[in-house]
Amino acid sequence: MRALCYFHADLTLPKEDPASETAIARRFRAYCAEKRHTDKGVFQDDTAGNDRPAFKQMVDHIRTSGLAYLVVIPNVTHLGSQFEEQVERILRLDSLSCQVICDDSVTSDPLQAALKALNNKASTNERRERIVAGMRAKAAKGLGLGKTPFGYRIGAEGVLEPVAEEAKVVRGIYKLYLNEGIGVRSIARLLNKEGYQTRRGAEWSMVTVRDILRNHAYIGTYRRFGLRIPGSYRAIVSADEFKRVQDRMQSRSPAKRRPRSEPFLLSGILYCGHCGQRMMGVTRRQTWKRKDGDRMRGEYRYYQCQSRTNRSQCEYRTQRATPLEEQVLRQVGGQSVEGILVSYMPVAERVADDSAREQAKVEMLNRRFVDWVKRTASGAMTLPQLRRALTDVVMERRGAVSRLESLDGDDDGMQQAHDEVRGRFDEQWDQLDPSQRREVLHGLVARVEVTDGKVGMVMRG
């Protein structure tokens, strides 16, 4: 295969230095001879400069020739010092039908090497491996590590042992769920009513109850670092009880995939006026038979107080999703809706809130960038698919950064950013997908609060 070499090195180093241009070029020719590739030239940039003229020359050469090449680099850092810079250059060469490979016996795949360089620094990685090796050795003996499950503590010999009062609560949870047929929400409500608390002194929630019902630790089975050691310490519940609980939970959660519902427009900005907690979107699906034998299906979408759902602290307060969303949209669109009280954020609070929102979006997009690269490095995506996905991510992030920079207290910049969001609402709403609609609406409305049918809205501008 036709091969080119590219590297970024200190061109003033003596020839005998392994990092010199001479040594790198020599290793490239040896690599070509070993792999039976055809040496088509070397392109080298000097570390003394910030520009990459040789890389640009190589790209121009490839484009002009119209041929595909194997581009060999000593390691991924020669494509750039930053992760995204490395990925961008890998994708640029891939768009020219060129494959990039690292002349590295440890990691030859450049994306995997870029991820490794991002997540693992040499000194940190060495220390982490020593710690993990020690933890694995303890795990192999069934010794307790880190945070113990509710109901257990690490005993004098390092093995988990039950905590009498907590173990009593665990057994009670299993009994309520299995023998009395009480659901996880009702169990959490009952525990809170009786004054029981979690180890951190917090209220019980459906999540904490569910986690206890699913945890193999309570049958004395130790699981850590891929190890599974049954009977390594005293069980709190029997294996039969645990299996029956899992069977019941499985029967209540069908494995078949349900159709994805449309996102809730007010999710994240809708609050219960009684307890101050967020209201979460809930979708319920029902099926029934008519008298003529036809099977009917119905879907119901509504918002429910999150405090009531998770911690049983509020009354059963719900709002049908569609009517409430339509009311809010009409108000945002300029119509005066009876029963809605509108207020506006103070400028300083609006700047802080908008800045936090845009910063959170930038961080989310940064994580998404890395996640897409991880999927491609694992073989779940191709490089062309990655290039398309990252194009969208970079464009979204560029917009978020631009909006973030405009929120510097400058009234003109703030107004311009607000006008852009308003324009998308007024002129493009019908063309937006559900997630884009929610983003636009959240850019105009900071908070919606519902109290006994009355709606309060806090607008951003």
The yes-or-no verdict on residue 25 having pLDDT over 90 is yes
Contacts of 304 (CB under 8 A, 6+ apart): 279, 280, 282, 316, 317, 318
DSSP codes, 246-315 = HHHHHHHS-SSPPPPPPPPTTTTTEEETTT--BEEEEEEEEEEE-TTS-EEEEEEEEEEEHHHHHHS-S-
Average of pLDDT values for 399-413? 68
Q: Tell me what the pLDDT averaged over the chain comes to.
A: 83
**Model pLDDT for residues 163-176, shown as the tens digit of each residue:** 899 999 999 999 99
Average of pLDDT values for 231-237? 79
E strand or H helix at 44: strand 38-46
Contacts of 31 (CB under 8 A, 6+ apart): 3, 37, 72, 103
Average of pLDDT values for 336-356? 79
**Which structure tokens are listed for 199?**
């180890």
Among residues 368, 373, 364, which one has the least CA distance to residue 88?
A: 373
Residue 408 pLDDT? 58
Residue 316 pLDDT? 62
Residue 59 pLDDT? 95
Average of pLDDT values for 315-329? 85
**Model pLDDT for residues 281-299, shown as the tens digit of each residue:** 888 877 777 777 777 787 8
pTM for the predicted model, two decimal places: 0.51
Residue 256 pLDDT? 47
Q: Which domains does the chain have, with CATH numbers?
A: 2-119 (3.40.50.1390), 138-252 (3.90.1750.20), 341-459 (no CATH)
Residue 86 pLDDT? 93
Of 43-47, 180-184, 291-295, 412-416, give the lowest mean pLDDT range.
Answer: 412-416
Among residues 190, 194, 161, 166, which one has the least CA distance to residue 177?
A: 190
Of 188-197, 217-226, 284-293, 353-362, give the lowest mean pLDDT range.
Answer: 217-226
Residue 126 pLDDT? 55
CA dist 77 and 382 (Å) reads 22
Q: For residue 9, what are the CA distances in angstroms to 73, 377, 444?
A: 11, 26, 50
Residue 7 pLDDT? 93
Provide the pLDDT confidence category of residue 109 given band limits of 50, 70 and 90.
very high
Residue 171 pLDDT? 92
For the chain, what percent of residues have pLDDT higher than 90?
30
230-251 burial: b if 16+ Cβ within 10 Å, else e: eebbebbbeeebbeebeeeeee
Q: For residue 342, what are the CA distances in angstroms to 143, 149, 328, 333, 441?
A: 59, 47, 10, 13, 15
Residue 231 pLDDT? 61
Beta strands in 90-193, from DSSP E residues, in sequence order: 99-102, 152-154, 160-162
Q: Are 426 and 329 a contacting pair, CB within 8 Å?
A: no
Provide the pLDDT confidence category of residue 225 given band limits of 50, 70 and 90.
very low
Q: Are 308 and 315 a contacting pair, CB within 8 Å?
A: yes
**Model pLDDT for residues 32-65, shown as the tens digit of each residue:** 999 999 999 999 998 876 788 999 999 999 999 9
CA dist 244 and 68 (Å) reads 60
Higher pLDDT, 10 or 68: 68
Say which amino acid occupies 416: Q
**Model pLDDT for residues 136-145, shown as the tens digit of each residue:** 555 455 555 5
| Angle in degrees, 0-180, between the axes of helices 83-95 and 110-119, rounded to the nearest 10 | 170
Average of pLDDT values for 221-244? 72
- End-to-end Cα spacing for the chain: 61
Q: How many other β-carbons are positioned within 10 Å of the β-carbon of residue 20? A: 17
